[in-house]
Structure formats: C-alpha cells, structure tokens
Structure 1
Amino acid sequence: MKKSLLAVAAIGAFASAAQAQSSVTVYGILDVGFSGATTRASQTKSNTTALASSSETSSRLGFKGTEDLGGGMNAFFTAEFQLYPTDASLSGDTNNGLFNRQSFVGLSKKGIGQAAIGTQYTPVHTAVSRTDAGQQNNIHGDVIYSVSSGTGATQTTTAYTTRFNNALTLQTDRFAGFQVNGIYSNKNSNQNNPATTQTVSNNTALGLGINYVWQKLNVDLAMTSSKQESITGTTNTAAALPAAAAAATSVNVLGTSIGILTNYAGASYDFGILKAYAQYINTKYTSNLDSNSYMTRSAQQLGVRSFVTPKVEAWASIGNGSFTAGSTALPATSGSRATQDFTGYQLGSNYWLSKRTNLYAIFGSQQVSSSSVAASEGASSYGVGMRHTF
C-alpha cells in the first residue's frame, strides 16, 4: 500500500514538473465602437459612418507557448489571427478564412538569442511599434504608420511592409543596451516544361534592426529590402510604369516586378510627465525593368503621449512628407518627374476603466497636395469605442 502511494506521488510530481516546463497562453484584443470618415479627391467628397471595429487596435486572437528544453534552451511558438467582431463572417466579409497576422515556431538560448521560422513582423514594423505615439492605430493622420485598412481608408498609402511570410528571423539577447534582429524571406519557384516556356518566380526579402535602450531613452534603426520578379523565358512579365502614375499611390505603381527598400529611424524618451517620440521613414520602389522608373515616399513625425490623470491618457502627433515619382513614361509637362507633399496630424485619448479595458476617442486628418500628374486629396477619420485585452 505504501509502495502504491509512493508510486502515485512520484507520478504526480513528475506530471507537475512536466507541466511547469511548458505553457500555452491564449490572448487577444477586441476593439469595437463607432467610426466615421470623410475623403476628398478632386471635386468629390465622401462621408461614411459605421458601427465598426479596430479603430485603436486591430482585433485579434492569439496562442503562444514555450517549453523548457533544459540547459537554458526553450522552444516557443505563436499563432495569431485577425478578428472582425462586427461582421457576420468570422474573418470579415472580404476575407476567406482567418487572416494570418503571425504564425511561427522557434528556439531560444539564454545568453545568446533566438531563431524562428514562419510569418513574422519585419524589423521596420517592430521598430515603429516602439516609437509611434499613436501605437499604430487605424485612424488617419499618422504619416509613418499610414492607414491601409479600416474605416474610410480609401487613401491607401503603404508606408512600409508589415510582415513577411516564409521568413527566418534571428534576434540576439540584449548586450550593453543593444539588441539586433534580422529577417530573411524566400519564396522562389522555377517551372521548366518542355512544351512551354520556362517560368521563374523570384520573391526574396531581408531586413535588419538595431534597438538601443539606455535608462529612459529608446532608439531604433531598421531597414528592409525585398524583390518581386516574374520571368517567362528571357522576358520579364512585369508591367511598365503607368503613363499617368500618381505619385501619391505607393502601392505597387511600378507593376509586379519591383524592388522595395525601406529605411527607418525612430526614438522615444520618457520625461516622466510625458513621453516624446521622433520618427523618420523613407521607402523607395524601383522597377526591375527600368532603374530610372521609381517612386519614393519619405516622411517625418513628432509625437507626445502622457497620462493627464491616473485614468486619462492622451497623445498627439504631427508630421509631413513627400512622394516623388520618376519615369520617361510620365507626361512631358512633368519633366519626367512628379512630386507631391503631404501633411498629417492626430489626437487621441484613452479612459482606463482597468488595466485591460479602456474607452477611447481618436481623430486624425491628412492632406496631399496637387502635382502635374495627380490632383490634391485628403481624408479625416475618427473613432470612439471600447477596447478589451485578454
């Protein structure tokens, strides 16, 4: 009897130890409320309002876990998916299946760093998350994290690439305040059918980020470089730069065969009564068919964030930038080069009901000037709602 009790106790102790070595966490964000937007393009003005979601933070559901492998080594994973709480479909009416925000698995070693493979954020996106006063919300006015989805986002200007799939990431531990992270993405194919012309598809990307923390100072430098190219036989199948390309539209204006280079620098400093932010970004799109066909988007922004009272948090940001496009395909009157300037600002506040639940109100506006190939346009949007994290 005593031996049986000892055996049961030993099995229970082993099970408890094994369970302590691994853990899985379910987490997420639900952000719902009321939002509206006004867009202006040429002589057209459009207003939209809706009971919507994700004005402050994109709603999501995630799972993450770690397992202690011993000797300071751990296995870890993350699987995170987009949620659309106000739509009838689980993933929203315009999405098929769960949108994959992040999914990766990796290994870490204490004192060295970690490596992971899967769909993951780029070094630029990670750097922006640490140095953006608006914390990457989905309202207009932030010229660094430019709105590409959400209410009123007809002015879609992708300032940088948020994530790469088919990606390997490496990240060091922090040494003397410095931490380095890198990413490499590869998705290539080569189809050789004797009855048809050979087809080659090249999609590669890489990035590097450096983060430095000293007391209340945070500094981030990051870059990403990617190339998309499709070749049939000896002919690049990408479309040439459109003759009436608008400098304000940075979403693949050069066709499907382009190279994209993004450089980012950001910093924040906590003064105690408020936290100040400074950011700069430059993204250049270059045609693989003609290196003289290009488009750049550069912007700079300043922001502040502070608790006005123990429960009321507020932030503000203001920035400006420019688009520049160059090509012999542009109208002769433009001198084969077109430039547009833009400005933006944003105001926001949170009322914290608890550490996990807050009410919010955000307003932002952005204006783009006219150029020789594109008319002026602008947009403003607002969101009021409730956000809960779990």
Structure 2
Amino acid sequence: MKKSLFALAALGAFAGAASAQSSVTVYGVVDVGYLNQKATGAAANAAGTVAPSGQANSASFGNSMEQTSRLGFKGTEDLGGGMIAFFTLETDMQPTNASMSSWQTRQGFGGIGKAGVGQFAFGTQYTPMFNQIAATDVGNTNNMPGNAVYPTTNSGNSSNATARGYTDASGVGGQSAGVTVRTQSTLSAQTATFSGFKVAANYTLRNDTVTANTSASRLPVTNNYSGWGLSADYTWQKLYVGLAYQAYKSNNEGQGGATAGASASTLATPAPAAWIAASGGSNTQDNQYYGAATYDFGILKGYVQYGNRKVGSVIDTSYYAKRTAQQIGVRSFMTPTIEGWAVVGNGKASSYGRGSPSAGFTAYQVGLNYYLSKRTNLYAIYGSNNESASSVQVSTRVTGLAFGTRVTF
C-alpha cells in the first residue's frame, strides 16, 4: 500500500513537472464604442484631372478605435537547456458587425528560441519596422486619424465611405499607407538584448509560377514576392532609440503580359500598388525607412518620429509614389488612473505619376484613457488629417472622434 501511494505521488509530481514545461494562453482585445468620422475632398479621377470635391460622413457604434479587436492563442514549450518552442495564432475581430469575423490572420507563426541568444520564427508576422513603430508611437498605433507617421484606417464598422483619406473595410485592421505592417511567408530572427542593444531582421519569400498548357503557347504567369527588413534599437536608462529599414518587391505578370510578344505597357498589368496587405503589393519596389526616440522625463514621456516610404513601379522607375513624415508628441499619467497624449506632425506625399505630383499635409491627435483596472479602460480620441491641393487632387480633410471602452484578456 505504501509503495502504491509512493508511486502515485511520484507519478503526480512527474505530470505536474511536465505540464509546467508547456503552456497555452488565450488572449485578446475587445474595443467598442462610438465613432464619428468625416472626410471632405476627393482624389483625382482616372483621367488624372481634379475631381469635384466630395464628402463622406459616418457615425456608428463601432469597434477597434483605440486598438484593433482580436482573438489570439499563444504557447511555449520548455525544451531544456534554455531552449523554448513557441507559437502565436491571432485573428482580427469585429464584434459590433452583423458578422463578427471570418478567420483573418493578423499573426500566425511558430519558432525556436534560446535564452540569452535570440529566436527565429516562420509565418505571418509583424515587420521589423512596425515593431519599432509600436515601441515608439505616441498614440500606441491606434486606428484614428491624426497620426502623420502611422496613418491608418478603422476597419471595425459596417459602413463604407469612399472619399480620400477614409476607408472602412472589413479586413484585417491596422493597415497603413506609411509602413508595411505584416508580411506572410516570412522568416524572422531576433537577438537577445546585449548591453542595451537588440537587432531584428526578416526575409519574405513567395514565388508562384503557373504555365498555361494551351495552343496559344503562352509564357508562364508569375507572381513573385520577396524582401527583407532590418531593425536595431538601444535602451539606456530612460532613453530609447530605434531604427529600421525594409525593402519589399512585388513582381506580378498578368495574363496579358504573359502572352508572347506582348508590349512593355502590357507587362505593367496589374497596376502598381504598395505592399499594404500581408500578401504583398503589385509590380512595385517598396522601400521604407524609420527612426524614432523616446525619453521618459518622469512626469511625461517625449516622442520624436520620422518615416519615409517610396513605392516605385518595377516596369518604369519614373512612376512612383512617395511619402515622408515627422512628428513629436507627449504622453503622461496625469493621475494614477488618467493618462493623456497629444501629437502633431507634418509631411509631404507624392502621388503615382511621372513628375510625382505632391502635396503637403498636417496631422494632430489628442486622447485620454481612464483606467478602471489594469485590463479595462474608457477612452476619448480626436484626430485630424489635412492635405493641401496638388495638380491632380483637391485639398482634403479627415477628422475622427471616438468614445469607447477597451477590455484586454
């Protein structure tokens, strides 16, 4: 009897130790509230001439204004000797829509890491540049107007406005015209922190070729996506400095361009587009730069950010769009439960086309958080983007006002 009890105790201890070596966590964000957005002005029409000014207004009980609502699963397993295996699976959610969400991969990766050395992972992942923006952005990469360096759109509501500067898609939130946020088919690597320094990199590769077996002797149809990113950051006491560069190329040859003897103009189909979605862009070389610094003064934290992006056609290098922006801001806890932030920035945006028609823009945003607990807060955010007129577009203005609550778990 004593031996049996001893054996059961030993078995229980072993099972407890085994279960302690691995864990799976369910986590997420539910961000809901009131959203009002207005846009005035319109982009150039297809002929390249200035279209009449237009307006778009949207008011709704929506979601994902301060942070994109999501559901995720992450886990680790202790492999011994300081080695771990890990994974993350995360989907976008729209809790206030009639259809809450189809599975949409915000992140989906698995990898291996070693304490004191670093880690690597394969899958759909945030880019090195976005990770630096997330660490140094005044507004914590919210989805409201008013951020010059990280312009984004809210994707958590059922309405759809088409005026320049405001779109409301039902896809993955957190996409930006200023930076490629995530890429699929990606290998990432990151070092541990050594004397305050940390380095991260990624490489994206997905080459697809289809050869049509027809009497027309068509050439292979190719869709090739590749690129890489690199970032480095340094932390010294209350100072943080982050730098990043990434270059992604999308080479797409449509059916028209795949025909033997097709003209050079046909090869440009489909039209050039930036690498916005994780799946890639279209016939472009997309180069992006970012630099930022933060300093914690105690009563408040100061931010300085700069971003640059140039998206050029792989067929005609004189056909490109470009965007540069800089901004400064502060963030502070005014009481133990009330946090506020303010940011102002400006920059210059060039539209696609020869000569790259350009226009200046300004942006500002203010916000407040009232924390009911560590995981729940109420918020209020107001932001505005203003862009001047150019030779191909009228001036535009986009404003947004949101009141909501965010619960994390």
The correspondence of residues 88-237 of structure 1 with structure 2, limited to 5 A, is 88-91=98-101, 97-150=102-155, 154=163, 155=165, 158-195=177-214, 196-231=218-253, 232=258, 237=267
1:277-324 deviation line (CA, Å, top 9, x unaligned): 000000001101111111110000101000111111000000000012
* Counterparts in 2 of 1:327 and 1:269: CA distance versus 1, 3 Å: same
Native 8 Å contact 1:262 1:283 kept in 2: yes
Aligned residues: 371
**Rounded Cα–Cα distance in structure 2 between residues aligned with 1:206 and 1:251:** 15
Question: Which consecutive unaligned segments of at least 5 residues does structure 1 have?
Answer: 92-96, 329-335
* Counterparts in 2 of 1:326 and 1:200: CA distance versus 1, 3 Å: closer
Does the alignment pair 1:271 with 2:297? yes
Q: Which amino acid aligns with 2:69?
A: S
The TM-score with structure 1 as length reference comes to: 0.90
Q: Which amino acid aligns with 2:269?
A: A
Question: Matched residue of 2:288: which SS?
Answer: strand
**Rounded Cα–Cα distance in structure 1 between residues aligned with 2:94 and 2:144:** 16
Q: Which amino acid aligns with 2:220?
A: Q
Q: Residue 149 of structure 1: CA displacement? A: 3.0
Question: Which consecutive unaligned segments of at least 5 residues does structure 2 have?
Answer: 42-51, 167-175
1:10 matched to which residue of 2?
Answer: 10
**Which range moves more in the overlay, 359-368 or 153-162?**
153-162
2:337 to 304, 311, 323: 311
* Counterparts in 2 of 1:78 and 1:240: CA distance versus 1, 3 Å: closer
**Which range moves more in the overlay, 364-373 or 149-158?**
149-158
Does the alignment pair 1:320 with 2:364? no
Q: Residue 339 of structure 1: CA displacement? A: 1.2
Question: Matched residue of 2:4: which SS?
Answer: helix
1:257 to 280, 283, 302: 283
1:145-169 deviation line (CA, Å, top 9, x unaligned): 1023346785156111110001100
Does the alignment pair 1:55 with 2:65? yes
2:402 matched to which residue of 1?
Answer: 383
Q: Residue 238 of structure 1: CA displacement? A: 2.6
**Rounded Cα–Cα distance in structure 2 between residues aligned with 1:80 and 1:230:** 28
**Rounded Cα–Cα distance in structure 1 between residues aligned with 2:23 and 2:346:** 45
Q: Which amino acid aligns with 2:76?
A: T
Q: Residue 211 of structure 1: CA displacement? A: 1.2
**Rounded Cα–Cα distance in structure 1 between residues aligned with 2:177 and 2:152:** 7
**Structure with more strand by fraction:** 1
**Which range moves more in the overlay, 319-328 or 145-154?**
145-154
Native 8 Å contact 2:144 2:153 kept in 1: no
**Which range moves more in the overlay, 224-233 or 267-276?**
224-233
Q: Residue 140 of structure 1: CA displacement? A: 0.4
1:71-114 deviation line (CA, Å, top 9, x unaligned): 110001111111111012121xxxxx211110110000112100
The TM-score with structure 2 as length reference comes to: 0.86
**Rounded Cα–Cα distance in structure 2 between residues aligned with 1:218 and 1:110:** 22
2:19 matched to which residue of 1?
Answer: 19
Does the alignment pair 1:40 with 2:40? yes
2:97 to 55, 68, 87: 87
* Counterparts in 2 of 1:388 and 1:327: CA distance versus 1, 3 Å: closer
Instruction: Give the RMSD, CA atoms, in angstroms.
Output: 2.1
Q: Residue 250 of structure 1: CA displacement? A: 9.9
**Rounded Cα–Cα distance in structure 1 between residues aligned with 2:184 and 2:375:** 30
**Rounded Cα–Cα distance in structure 2 between residues aligned with 1:265 and 1:36:** 32
Q: Residue 187 of structure 1: CA displacement? A: 0.8
Question: What is the identity percentage for the equivalent residue pairs of Structure 1 and Structure 2?
Answer: 44
1:72 to 63, 82, 97: 82
* Counterparts in 2 of 1:250 and 1:36: CA distance versus 1, 3 Å: farther
Q: Residue 337 of structure 1: CA displacement? A: 3.8
**Rounded Cα–Cα distance in structure 2 between residues aligned with 1:67 and 1:33:** 38
